[in-house]
Amino acid sequence: MEAKDLTGYVDGSPVRKADEDTARIRIIQDTVRSFFVSLSLGATLPTPLLMAVSGGPDSLCMADAILTLAHELSLAPVIAHLDHQLRGEESLADAKFVRQFAVARNVHCIVEQVDVKALARERHLSIEVAARQLRYRFLASAARAIGARYIALAHNADDQVETVLLRLVRGTGVQGLQGMRPLSTWTVPSGDLSSVILLRPLLNTKRQDIEAYCRARSLSPRHDTTNDQWHPTRNRIRHELLPLLEHYNPGIRRVLLRLAETAASDWEIIDHATQQTFDSLLIDETMPSPDIQGQPAQPAFTLNRTDWRHLSIGLQRAVLREGVRRLKQTLTDVKYAGVEEARAVLNSDARSGDIAILQDVRIIVHAHSFTITLAPANL
């Protein structure tokens, strides 16, 4: 191949322009194909799959690849789009675009609107947190409507880098350093669907490769102008902190991705030890059921305090966090200071006490045991 024929590179190899688009398309579709084959769904009928599609490059690339391979992979994809009503006419145009994309590909599309600002005001949340809560609530509802156990999300490798760095900045442990996982089980807080499997087939794919795929497939994704703003912390990490860190280490993105993988492997060991230890300390477990007055009893776990005190500091913390997780199905809002306060009391000579490890979770201290329970709603 003569130098004058080389117009681009794919995976570091020189290619002619005529072959470049084909190579870009093949790389992404092979990635998606391998991801779903590795799941071994084993369905005799097409598996319902809900695809979260915003209309941006990532989700459009994911949706296009999945729809192209749907028959081969025995998938029955459905598109879901949520209008957060945060960008006025832009939001409406996004929803219209996604509908048109779905119609052009003859695929069912579920579109809803929510008032993110109203929820943020009502619950004193940031816009980002309120939007995420409503988005996942919508996805759970849509998944239930079509009988889907799987939800495909379009997070990419650059999102993973930003997530790990954001958690480092805010403070996290080994579990948080995992970032996002390619496959994870999500227990729906509302209880209307026990759990769904979140799939991220593009998590190891760079944003630039996704954008190249969109160009090669003649896709015209929408552009969210809020991604250009520096106010949200994630955007400042993307536009300010990451470029600064690349001056110190040009390979910082690769380093952070490797950190996430290492943390995930380490967390498997930690989580296994935590589960075994928690179960060995468990004296009694109370799950919600009507008491003699007809009021629902609060779920609770009573653990052996004496044996807990003999654990390493790391396992003491892990057991307390695991109690919260089993009660609430999440560790959101669990702070280091709250865990340490509980440890201090449980390791002291106090023979009784009542510790609020969270606003709605308390630890009742006894001489030789302690109980982790949800606080009654009227407290």
Tens of pLDDT, residue by residue over 151-182, are 999 999 999 999 999 999 988 889 999 999 99
DSSP per residue, 65-105? HHHHHHHHHTEEEEEEEEE-SSSTHHHHHHHHHHHHHHHHT
Tens of pLDDT, residue by residue over 43-62, are 667 899 999 999 999 999 99
Q: How confident is the model over 100-116, as a mean pLDDT?
A: 95
Share of the chain above pLDDT 90, in %: 67
Tens of pLDDT, residue by residue over 92-102, are 999 999 999 99
Q: How confident is the model over 351-376, as a mean pLDDT?
A: 93
**pLDDT score of 3:** 45
Q: How confident is the model over 319-346, as a mean pLDDT?
A: 91
Q: How confident is the model over 104-120, as a mean pLDDT?
A: 92
Domains of the chain in sequence order: 3-266 (3.40.50.620), 287-374 (3.30.465.60)
| Per-residue CA distances from 82 to 95, 133, 161, 341 (Å) | 8, 12, 25, 40
pLDDT of 191 > 70? The answer is no
Q: How far apart (Å, rounded) are the C-alpha atoms in residues 121 and 143?
A: 27
Q: How confident is the model over 313-339, as a mean pLDDT?
A: 91
pLDDT band, very low/low/confident/very high, at 379 (cuts 50, 70, 90)? very low
pLDDT of 353 > 90? The answer is yes
Tens of pLDDT, residue by residue over 287-313, are 655 444 555 567 899 999 999 999 999
Show contacts of 207-211: CB within 8 Å, 24+ apart.
207/57, 207/58, 207/156, 207/157, 207/158, 207/159, 209/24, 209/27, 209/28, 210/28, 210/57, 210/58, 210/61, 210/156, 211/57
**pLDDT score of 43:** 64
Buried b (16+ CB within 10 A) or exposed e, 59-87: bbbbbbbbbbbbeebebbbbbbbbbbebe
**pLDDT score of 132:** 85
If one compares 191 and 23, the residue with the highest pLDDT of the two is 23
**pLDDT score of 205:** 97
Tens of pLDDT, residue by residue over 193-238, are 467 899 999 999 999 999 999 999 999 999 877 766 656 788 899 9
Q: Is the dihedral of CA 367, 368, 370, 376 positive or negative?
A: negative
If one compares 107 and 196, the residue with the highest pLDDT of the two is 107
Closest by Cα among 56, 11, 7 to 31: 11
**Average model confidence (pLDDT) across the chain:** 88
pLDDT band, very low/low/confident/very high, at 188 (cuts 50, 70, 90)? low
**pLDDT score of 92:** 92
**pLDDT score of 125:** 81
Residues in the chain, how many?
379
